[in-house]
Amino acid sequence: MWLTQVLINALVLGCLYACIAIGFSLVWGVLNVINLIHGSFIVLGSYLAFGLYQTLGISPWYAIIVAAPLFFVLGYLLQFLLLNRVINAPVLVTLTMTFGLDLILNNAMIYFFKADYRKLTLSPPMGSVSLFHAVVPIDRLIATVAALALTGLLYLVLRRLRVGRAIVAVRLDRDAAVLMGVDVKSIYAVAFGLGAALAGCAGVLMALVYPISPLTSSTFLGKAFVVCVLGGLGSVSGALAGGVLLALVEGVGTTFLGPEHATTLSFVLLIVFLIVRPQGLLGRKGFE
């Protein structure tokens, strides 16, 4: 009986992990930038949801509508004004740049919001539903659906829209894209903006599930990293597959080996993937 519960928990958690990772994966895949500020963007999104709910009583579901454009603009400007200047430098330079930006944003959040943990508690609480004899909290369920919807939306943007096709083109072959008349710098900014918007939305959803503090940003970043490697860089469906795989391994590992070994197991899996299948579950080889 509780094994069903463990599996359902893992599926739900997997979608949350996918939600954390998808923006990170997009930026890494398209721009070849390991965006270390991603975790802090998520936390900032959580604070936005928390603030809107506490001061104006705006439900986190509507906060997504505010967060997405806000974070898009923030990400777009960051890429356009700063990161584009070093985008052609070796990967260590962009890494250092996002590392520095992350330090600034994270410490600014500690300064303004303090490091105390806060919790967005909806009143009345949403409760839980019974699904195949397992209890599933409604807030997590909605967050799961939202994560799936965001993933689907990004998939459609990349497949159907002109700008999406341009992003894919730049990802496949930057030089060819330039020859075809794609403005690479602005595509980079759009991709980074989308990544930031996804991080902001993920943050809003995470506010319902996790305690909020600037200190959690590195935990989110770590999960995003593992999910990307497991699922495949830059692949939308890969983030989903990686997230669910990670959550399943953690859940089953916790049950049979104890919770302290869940993390060990997930990192062993990471190393195995790096050796055996470096392109990830759904990534394609030579896609740099």
Partner 1 sequence: MFGSKWVRCSVLLGTAVLAAASWSATASPARAEDVIRFGAPLPLTGPLAPEGIKQKEGYDLWAEQANKAGGISVGGKKYKVEIVYSDYQSNTPRAVQTTEQMITQDNVNFLFGAFGSGAAKAASTVSEKYKVPTIAAAASSVQVYDQGYKYFFGTFTPNDTLTTPLTQIVKAKAPDVKKVAILARNDLFPLAIAQEMEKSAKANGLEVVYFEKYAIGTLDHSAALSQIKSLSPQWIFITGYVNDLLLARKQMVDQEIKAPVVTMIAGPAYRDFIDSAGKSAENLTSASWWHPAEEYQGKDVFGSTSNFVKLFHAKYNYDPDYGQASAAVCGALFQLAIEKADSLDRDKVRDALASLDVVTFWGPVKFGANGQINSLEPPVFQIQNAKPVVLFPEAIKQGDLQLGVN
Candidate residues 32, 84, 128, 237; the one interacting with partner 1 per rule CB under 8 A: 128
Task: Tell me the residue ranges of DSSP E strands in the chain.
Answer: 128-131, 134-137
Candidate residues 65, 108, 115, 176; the one interacting with partner 1 per rule CB under 8 A: 115
- Over the window 181 to 210, marking each residue x when it contacts partner 1 by CB under 8 A and - when it does not, the resulting string is ----------------------------xx
Q: How far is the CB of 215 from partner 1 (least distance, A)?
A: 6
- The yes or no reply on residue 270 touching partner 1 (CB under 8 A) is no
- The yes or no reply on residue 10 touching partner 1 (CB under 8 A) is yes
Instruction: Find how far residue 28's CA is from the centre of its chain.
Output: 11
Judge whether 25 and 194 are in contact, CB under 8 Å.
Answer: no
In single-letter form, the type of residue at position 187 comes to I
Candidate residues 66, 77, 95, 110; the one interacting with partner 1 per rule CB under 8 A: 110
Candidate residues 258, 275, 286, 288; the one interacting with partner 1 per rule CB under 8 A: 258
- The yes or no reply on residue 178 touching partner 1 (CB under 8 A) is no
Q: Which region holds residue 270: left if phi is over 0, alpha if psi is between -120 and 50, else beta?
A: alpha
| Cβ proximity to partner 1, 73 vs 92, nearer residue | 92
Place of tokens 């080996």: 257
Count of C-beta atoms within a 10 Å radius of residue 247:
24
Residue 129 CA to residue 142 CA, distance in Å, equals: 12
Give a three-class secondary structure readout of 159-172.
HHCHHHHHHHHHHH
# chain residues binding partner 1, by CB under 8 A: 45
- The yes or no reply on residue 116 touching partner 1 (CB under 8 A) is yes
| Cβ proximity to partner 1, 73 vs 271, nearer residue | 271
Residue 37 CA to residue 154 CA, distance in Å, equals: 20
Residue 284 CA to residue 264 CA, distance in Å, equals: 27
Angle 224-202-37 from CA coordinates, rounded to 5°: 55
- The yes or no reply on residue 263 touching partner 1 (CB under 8 A) is yes
- The yes or no reply on residue 245 touching partner 1 (CB under 8 A) is no
Which residues form the interface with partner 1 (CB under 8 A)? 1-2, 5-6, 9-10, 13, 86, 89, 93, 110, 115-119, 121, 125, 128, 135, 137, 139-140, 209-211, 213, 215-216, 218-219, 222-223, 247, 250-252, 254-255, 258-260, 262-264
